[in-house]
Chain A
Amino acid sequence: MLYLLVRLADDAYAIEADCVRRIVPFAKLKPLPCDLPEVVGVLNFHGSAVPVLDLTLLLAGTPSRELIGTRIVLANVELPGAGSRLLGLLTEGATSVARFDDFQPAGIRPDGRPWLGPVAEHGHVFVQRIEIGSLLPPAVLDALIRDSESALAA
């Protein structure tokens, strides 16, 4: 299967290419008042409101910098009863794709980060899969999408 690779410092993460709708360059975001620190704003993607999370902050603990290679990955998220919705992931180092098939379960599943999935070997580094559907609880995601729509409408 094809995966989008995200390299942050010495670590590498993989996002399933099937989930990715589009990768867009970094653009100005509409601010969104929210309690979650990783929510950085709302992106207007062809008229639809897409909430954007800072993936660098979630993975490396530091906010994303405004570099040439800083991008927003638009991923499809299944919302029960509402079908597929878009979630933006602001990240540095999303510059390549790769194919993996044999993911091994990770030895340790850290608390509070249920979205870090199994591990595969690519070259000489380990790549950990990011489960996009587990990034936010469905209720929170629903509320966030609705807030984003109202923010964009305003």
Chain B
Amino acid sequence: MNWTISKKILAGYGVSTILLLAVCGSVFFDLRTLHQQFDERAHSSAKVGALDDVDGLMREALSSERAYIITGDEKSLAPLNDAHAKLGPAIDRLIGILADDPKETSTVGSARQNIDAFLAVMDEAVNLRRTQGFEAAATVVNSGRGARLLETVQQSLDSVRNEEDANAKGAEQQVDASIDSLRAAIEIAAPIVIVVMIGIGIFSARSISRPLKTITGAAGRIARGDVDVEIPSAKGGDEVGQLARSFEQMVDALKTSAATSERIAAGDLTVQIAPQSDTDVVSRSQAQMVAQLSELIGQVQQSGVQVNSSAVEIAAVAKQQQATANEVASTTTEISSTAKEMSATSTELLKTADQVSLVATETASLATQGKTNLARMEAIIQQINDASTAITSRLGVINEKAGNINTVVTTITKVADQTNLLSLNAAIEAEKAGEYGKGFSVVATEIRRLADQTAASSGDIERIVKEMTSAVAAGVMGMDKFAEEVRRGANEIGETRRQLDEVVTQVQSLAPNVETLHEGMRAQTQGAEQISDALSQLGEAARQTADSIRDSSRAVEQLNDATHGLQGAIARFKIRS
């Protein structure tokens, strides 16, 4: 039954209200019946009252008549007169009251005649007393007519009264019955309504509290960190069912989150985290945690690799440094011995310097001789230079002449060509002259041959002149180069002379320098000894450096081991690549 709790509660109170309304309706109906019955009883009492009035008036009328008859006192007639006045209206009223009962109405109607007759009898007796005295009146009274009429009226009135009494008795029984039924209704309905309402209350409370208890228990387990819970009341369609389903979803989300956390804890950072909604703080923070953890691990891995490579590099560098330090140590030893040797050598050098001084003096005199020779050479070179200039100018003249020869050769060539042309025309004309031109033809042929030879010779001349011109040009160029070389030679000789001057000057200033050299050599010997000592210390320092580098190498190896350990520790994390 997929009813919400509010529907269930509303339904329960609706049933109770309907029951209560039924009970109230039946009570209201009973009370109305009772009211009617009380009305009927009051009616009957009114009837009896009216009957009693009529009865009383008649009895007072009778006693008044008798008293008058006995006493003759007019005053005693007041009740009779009263009866005369009131009996008619009393009867009318009675009839009005009895109008609902035709039988009683007729009974009273018949009684009215008897009442009228009775009053007539009363009046007759009174009149008789007044007129004829006591005796006459007594006869009327003694005849008993009045008393009989009264009795008759009373009998009929009594019959009515009896009937009304019976009616009243029946009505009373009905009232009792109504009251009984009312009581019974209240006594039976009230417990039923109470029981039903209590039942609904208990049912509603149980339908809310039982699943809530389960959920509370589950929430308590979740609060203690246990997410492996089952919510059995998640099938209901009411608010608690919805609450249970939401709770179940929450538990599922928590389980997913817990599984994700377990995978992350196991080092699997490739896990996919899909937030349930925009406000899913846990998933977002998990995703952020995974991202940051991945980044951190990536960085740590990178750093590890870097540290590793750096450690390897440092180790290599340390090895190099160690080797270098060893080399330094051995080198310093070598240098130390070398310095000692230097010290010895400088003493020898000193002797050599004395010899150098001697040689330098000789050199100075030789250089002076060389200087004079060079001055002579310079003069000769100047003459060569002049001669080469003259040769160059003459070559220019030769070139010019060659040009003239060319012009002449061209003229000769032209003349040869003309001659050839003439010989051709002559040969042709001779051919045309027939037999007469034969001798002339021979001459023409000879002329043409000479012309051709001339042309060939002039061609040879032209070629030779051309070769000569180019040779002259080469000669001019060569002379230019030669003149340049000569000039450079002269410069170099001048330079050499200046250098020889310097040599002489410096050699002459060498003697005092040899003394300085003595001094310097002594200082050098001392310095070499000092260097030797300092180098011994340096060698010791280098050995110490080598030792400390060995220590740092060990430290680097430990660092390497540590980074390997770090990488091994990180390796169990799987990172999304």
Q: Which residues of A contact B (CB under 8 A)?
A: 2, 4, 17-18, 20, 22-25, 68-69, 71, 94-97
Whether A4 contacts B428 by the Cβ 8 Å rule is: yes
Tell whether B526 is near chain A: CB-to-CB under 8 Å.
no
- Chain A residues near B421: list those with CB within 8 A: 23-25, 71
Main secondary structure of the interface of A (DSSP, over half): strand
Q: How far is the CB of A23 from chain B (nearest CB, A)?
A: 5
Query: If A2-B431, A17-B431, A96-B448 touch, does A22 touch B425 (CB 8 Å cutoff)?
Result: yes
The residue that B427 contacts in the complex, of A2, A18, A24, A71, with Cβ under 8 A, is A2
Q: How far is the CB of A78 from chain B (nearest CB, A)?
A: 16
The residue that A95 contacts in the complex, of B414, B420, B431, with Cβ under 8 A, is B420
Whether A69 contacts B417 by the Cβ 8 Å rule is: yes
Tell whether B432 is near chain A: CB-to-CB under 8 Å.
yes
Whether B428 contacts A20 by the Cβ 8 Å rule is: yes
State which residues 428-455 of B face A: CB under 8 Å.
428, 431-432, 448, 452
- Chain A residues near B425: list those with CB within 8 A: 22-23
Known pairs A23-B421, A25-B417, A68-B417 / 13 extra A-B pairs, C-beta < 8 Å: A2-B427, A2-B428, A4-B428, A17-B427, A17-B431, A20-B428, A22-B425, A23-B424, A25-B421, A68-B413, A68-B414, A71-B421, A95-B452
Query: If A2-B431, A18-B432, A25-B418 touch, does A96 touch B413 (CB 8 Å cutoff)?
Result: no
Q: How far is the CB of A38 from chain B (nearest CB, A)?
A: 23
A2 CA to B445 CA, complexed, in Å: 12
Range for the number of chain B residues in contact with chain A: 10 to 19
- Chain B residues near A24: list those with CB within 8 A: 421
Query: Which of A18, A68, A71 gathers the greatest number of chain B CB atoms within 10 Å?
Result: A68
25 A-B pairs within 8 Å (CB atoms) are namely A2-B431, A4-B424, A17-B427, A17-B428, A17-B431, A18-B431, A20-B428, A22-B425, A22-B428, A23-B421, A23-B428, A24-B421, A25-B417, A25-B418, A25-B421, A68-B413, A68-B414, A68-B417, A69-B417, A69-B420, A95-B420, A96-B424, A96-B448, A97-B428, A97-B448
Q: How far is the CB of A71 from chain B (nearest CB, A)?
A: 7
The chain A residue sitting closest to B448, CB to CB, is A96
Q: How far is the CB of A62 from chain B (nearest CB, A)?
A: 21
The chain B residue sitting closest to A1, CB to CB, is B431
- Chain B residues near A96: list those with CB within 8 A: 424, 448
A11 CA to B427 CA, complexed, in Å: 23
The chain A residue sitting closest to B431, CB to CB, is A2
Q: How far is the CB of A1 from chain B (nearest CB, A)?
A: 8
Q: How far is the CB of A19 from chain B (nearest CB, A)?
A: 10
- Chain A residues near B424: list those with CB within 8 A: 4, 23, 94-97
A23 CA to B418 CA, complexed, in Å: 11
A20 CA to B428 CA, complexed, in Å: 7
- Chain A residues near B420: list those with CB within 8 A: 69, 95
